Amino acid sequence: MARPPETGAGRFGGARGAARARVLQAAWIFDGERRWIEGGGLLLAGTRIERVLESPAAVARAHRDVARAHRDVARAHRDVASVEDLGARLLTPGLVVAHAHLELSALAGAVPRGPDLTSWIASLVAQRGAIARPELLRARGRALEQLLTSGATTIADVDSMDLPAPLDPRGPRVLVQREVLDLSDPARRAAAIERVRRRLRTNVRRFEGISPHAPYTVSDELFQAVAAVARQRNLPVAVHFHETPEEREWNELGTGPFERLVGPNRNRGPALDRLDRTGLLGPATSLVHANDVTAAERRRIAASGAAVVHCPGAHEFFGRPTFPLADWLEAGVPVGLGTDSAAGNQTLDAQREVVLACAAAPDVPPERLLAMATWGSARAIGLGERHGRLVPGALADLAAWDVEGANPDDLSASFAAARRQPRAVWVGGRQVRGAPAPRR
Ligand SMILES: [Zn+2]
């Protein structure tokens, strides 16, 4: 998988580490998987989590260690060598958005739903082509702001327009998934292959992946080329997959509204077969939407190790039938949550996606949804161990929430019951939203 480079990882210890060590305490901590800690905290060292503090006593010990280290290096500073007390809040990993198209915020509210998905796509593509790049960049900036304010610290963004890097040092991390498609046109295919072979310049806030758009716009040859580059460079892959039954109709029979959108299908057959034989049905791939999937296909996806990304807001926007979230979880498929684009969603809000998913899946415990919005999404997009969870060595990407409850069930139910914004957000240990917490 793509791993963001390790920079600024000042370990606790030594003058530099000590100067950057700090302790956060909160009434409750959820680690992104299933662990809840009451009255504990986190010891941060630079951009990372050094220690998870399991109790008030562990917080006090860590505080003493930090204060002593500061004295040792004669850099004692009352503000740093104190505990930041978040009070009666829930501290979680920052939310991870497993699928977005940030540039399409330029078309928020501008694309009519239409009678089916193909008319929405046709209108979107026509309008997008008329937007100047500076406007796309401004729209992407607005989308990043909006998502960070909603608690998202990492976003998988499909870049269709080759936009330059988002590099705001106070912004979220962005997994740039470069979109390619060829519509069976050899000239477009050559350009697309060239595009995926080019390395992106990445840094700690920006890392790369590839998104071959969908089985109805990507030829077998292009899927194969993507699979080869992804394998070679260990890059995560995202493919839009079976958003509607009409997509299956075109894949398997070559008929229906998708024929009018993309032309005849010379390569008919189940889309999963095509992904499989081109080398893309595997753990490096996330299948976005996967709304129209049979039980047998779900088992096959589970066996392959591929992940699925569900976009509850887009689901609601297009009025799709209920997403069988419990079936996916039961099958053992990693599921992440995405916002998709502001052109096909009411708004971009990572926490709202949890609320919508929870309302539509009363048989899934809210705690699973909170886990899905953090480490689940990080796993789904191939980010590995250091994103979306609170463990030693993980990135200190965090969000603090006002939620009500005296036990984990009530707290997660409260989190998923209504839209809310985090009180504070940290990316790489740096607080980027909210007022500083009182110190003691
Ligand atoms: Zn999408």
Annotated domain spans of the chain: 14-93+391-433, 95-380
CA of 243 to the centre of ligand 1 (A): 9
Residue length of the chain: 440
The pLDDT assigned to 54 comes to 97
CATH 2.30.40.10 fits 14-93+391-433, yes or no: yes
CATH fold of 95-380, please? Answer: TIM Barrel (3.20.20)
Q: Are 14-93+391-433 and 95-380 the same fold in CATH?
A: no
CA of 131 to the centre of ligand 1 (A): 19
CA of 51 to the centre of ligand 1 (A): 37
**CA proximity to 158, closest of 23, 286, 61:** 286
CA of 178 to the centre of ligand 1 (A): 12
Sequence-ordered alpha helix ranges (H) in 198-305: 220-233, 245-253, 257-262, 271-277, 295-304
CA of 149 to the centre of ligand 1 (A): 21
CA of 150 to the centre of ligand 1 (A): 19
pTM over 0.85: yes
Separation of alpha carbons 15 and 21, rounded Å: 10
Q: What angle do CA 160, 165, 167 make, to 5 degrees?
A: 140
- Angstrom CA distances, 196 to 31, 115, 150, 227, 381, stand at 35, 34, 31, 10, 17
Q: Which residues pair with 155 in a beta bridge?
A: 97, 174
Model pLDDT for residues 246-287, shown as the tens digit of each residue: 999 999 999 999 999 999 998 899 999 999 999 999 999 999
Mean pLDDT (the chain) is 92
The pLDDT assigned to 74 comes to 53
Residue 4 pLDDT exceeds 50: no
Q: Angle at which helices 408-417 and 350-360 pack, to 10 degrees?
A: 110
The pLDDT assigned to 16 comes to 52
CA of 14 to the centre of ligand 1 (A): 46
Model pLDDT for residues 186-209, shown as the tens digit of each residue: 999 999 999 999 988 888 788 999
* Overall average pLDDT of the 384-396 stretch: 94
Task: Locate 35 and state its tokens.
Answer: 């662990």
**Phi, psi dihedrals of residue 153, rounded to the nearest 5°:** -110, -10
Work out the percent of the chain whose per-residue pLDDT is above 90.
82
* Overall average pLDDT of the 237-252 stretch: 97
CA of 252 to the centre of ligand 1 (A): 22
CA of 267 to the centre of ligand 1 (A): 23
The pLDDT assigned to 313 comes to 98
